[in-house]
Amino acid sequence: MREYLVTFHKVVLDDTGHDRRVLQQQAVVSAPCETSALALAKTRFCEAAGIVDWRLRADSCDVAVLSERAA
């Protein structure tokens, strides 16, 4: 099983009117694949924020492999 780092960002305007990606949350999850890791992180994000859809608080999410653990 692998460990993944999933990050959620929201795009906001800064003082100068330029788009800026602001980190909303990061989650380290263990999952067999990237798709499963993303689904688990989205579920945890919604539970932590008390919302039904992660897109209410973030515009994008990224997944990165951290490590692979032996079974």
Domain ranges within the chain, ordered by starting residue: 2-66
Strand order in the sheet with 19-31: 19-31, 2-13, 60-68
Task: Considering the domain delimited by 2-66, tell me its CATH architecture.
Answer: Roll (3.10)
What pLDDT digit, counting tens, does each position of 27-71 carry?
Answer: 999 999 999 999 999 999 999 999 999 999 999 999 999 987 655
Query: Kindly report the CA angle at 38 between 32 and 39, in degrees rounded to 5?
Result: 90
Look up residue 38 and give its DSSP letter. H
Q: Which residues pair with 5 in a beta bridge?
A: 28, 64
Confidence (pLDDT) at 1: 87
What predicted TM-score, i.e. pTM, was given to this entire model? Answer: 0.86
User: What is the mean pLDDT of the segment spanning 11-28?
Assistant: 94
